[in-house]
Structure 1
Amino acid sequence: MRILLAATAVALTAALTAPVASALPDVQPAGTVTAPPDGPAPSWLVADLDSGKILGSRDPTGVHAPASTIKPLLAMVVLDHLNPNAVARANVSHTQVECSCVGLVPGQAYTTTQLLAGLLMVSGNDAANMLADMLGGQQVAVAAMNAKAQALGARSTHASSPSGLDGPGWETLTTPYDLALIYRQALKYPLIAKIFQSPTASFPGKDGTPKTLTAQNELLARYPGDFAGKTGYTDLARKTFVTAAARNGRRLLVVLMYGSGDLYGQATDLFDWGFAQPA
Structure 2
Amino acid sequence: MTIGLTDRFPRRAAVATCALCVAGLLALTPATAAAEATAPAPGAAVPGPALLYHSGVQVRPHAGAPAVPDVSALSWLVADADTGEVLAANQAHLRLPPASTLKTLFALTVLPALPAGLEHRVTPGELADVEEGSSLVGVEEGHTYRVADLWRGVFLSSGNDAVHVLAALDGGWDRTVTRMQTKARSLGALDTHVESPDGYDAPGQVSSAYDLAVFGRTGLRNPDFARYCSTAEARFPAGDGWSFGIENTNRLLTGEDGVGRYPGMIGIKNGYTSNAGNTLVAAARRGGRTLVVTVMNPQDGGVYDEARQLLDWGFGAAGRVDPVGSLDALRPAPRPGPSTVPMAAATASQDDSGWPDTAVVAAVAALGAGAVTLAMRLRGDRSDRSRRAEPPTPTGPDGPSGPAGRG
SS in 1 for 2:59: coil
Q: Is 1:103 paired with 2:143?
A: no
Looking at structure 2, the residues matched to 162 and 84 of structure 1 have their Cα atoms a distance apart, in angstroms, of 19
Q: Is 1:149 paired with 2:149?
A: no
Following TM superposition, by how much is the alpha carbon of 1:181 offset from its aligned partner in structure 2, in angstroms?
0.9
Looking at structure 2, the residues matched to 160 and 11 of structure 1 have their Cα atoms a distance apart, in angstroms, of 32
Runs of 5+ in structure 2 lacking a partner? 1-43, 256-260, 320-407
Following TM superposition, by how much is the alpha carbon of 1:88 offset from its aligned partner in structure 2, in angstroms?
1.1
Is contact 1:63–1:175 with CA below 8 Å preserved after alignment? yes
Question: Which residue of structure 1 lines up, in the alignment, with residue 57 of structure 2?
Answer: 26
Aligned match for 1:166, one of 201, 206, 231: 201
Normalization by structure 1: what TM-score?
Answer: 0.89
Runs of 5+ in structure 1 lacking a partner? 1-7, 13-17
Question: Which residue of structure 2 lines up, in the alignment, with residue 266 of structure 1?
Answer: 306
Is contact 1:26–1:60 with CA below 8 Å preserved after alignment? no
Question: Which residue of structure 1 lines up, in the alignment, with residue 273 of structure 2?
Answer: 234
Following TM superposition, by how much is the alpha carbon of 1:35 offset from its aligned partner in structure 2, in angstroms?
2.6
Alignment of 1:86-125 (within 5 A): 86-96=118-128, 97=130, 98=132, 99-125=134-160
Counterpart residue type for residue 60 of structure 1: A
SS in 1 for 2:116: coil
Looking at structure 2, the residues matched to 9 and 199 of structure 1 have their Cα atoms a distance apart, in angstroms, of 39
Normalization by structure 2: what TM-score?
Answer: 0.62
* CA RMSD in angstroms, aligned pairs only: 1.9
SS in 1 for 2:195: coil
Following TM superposition, by how much is the alpha carbon of 1:67 offset from its aligned partner in structure 2, in angstroms?
0.5
Following TM superposition, by how much is the alpha carbon of 1:40 offset from its aligned partner in structure 2, in angstroms?
2.8
Looking at structure 1, the residues matched to 225 and 275 of structure 2 have their Cα atoms a distance apart, in angstroms, of 27
Question: Which residue of structure 1 lines up, in the alignment, with residue 251 of structure 2?
Answer: 218
SS in 2 for 1:231: strand
Q: Is 1:81 paired with 2:78?
A: no
Looking at structure 2, the residues matched to 30 and 266 of structure 1 have their Cα atoms a distance apart, in angstroms, of 20
Counterpart residue type for residue 172 of structure 1: Q
Aligned match for 1:197, one of 226, 230, 249: 230
Following TM superposition, by how much is the alpha carbon of 1:256 offset from its aligned partner in structure 2, in angstroms?
0.7
Aligned length: 265
SS in 1 for 2:87: strand
Looking at structure 1, the residues matched to 124 and 50 of structure 2 have their Cα atoms a distance apart, in angstroms, of 42
Following TM superposition, by how much is the alpha carbon of 1:151 offset from its aligned partner in structure 2, in angstroms?
0.6
Looking at structure 2, the residues matched to 124 and 20 of structure 1 have their Cα atoms a distance apart, in angstroms, of 37
Question: Which residue of structure 1 lines up, in the alignment, with residue 46 of structure 2?
Answer: 10
Counterpart residue type for residue 252 of structure 1: L
Following TM superposition, by how much is the alpha carbon of 1:20 offset from its aligned partner in structure 2, in angstroms?
7.8
Aligned match for 1:257, one of 283, 292, 296: 296
Change (3 A) 1:113 1:162: same
Following TM superposition, by how much is the alpha carbon of 1:258 offset from its aligned partner in structure 2, in angstroms?
2.2
Change (3 A) 1:9 1:178: farther
Looking at structure 2, the residues matched to 187 and 276 of structure 1 have their Cα atoms a distance apart, in angstroms, of 22
Is contact 2:108–2:215 with CA below 8 Å preserved after alignment? no
Percent of residue pairs bearing the same amino acid type? 38
Following TM superposition, by how much is the alpha carbon of 1:205 offset from its aligned partner in structure 2, in angstroms?
1.4
Looking at structure 2, the residues matched to 10 and 119 of structure 1 have their Cα atoms a distance apart, in angstroms, of 36
Aligned match for 2:316, one of 268, 276, 279: 276
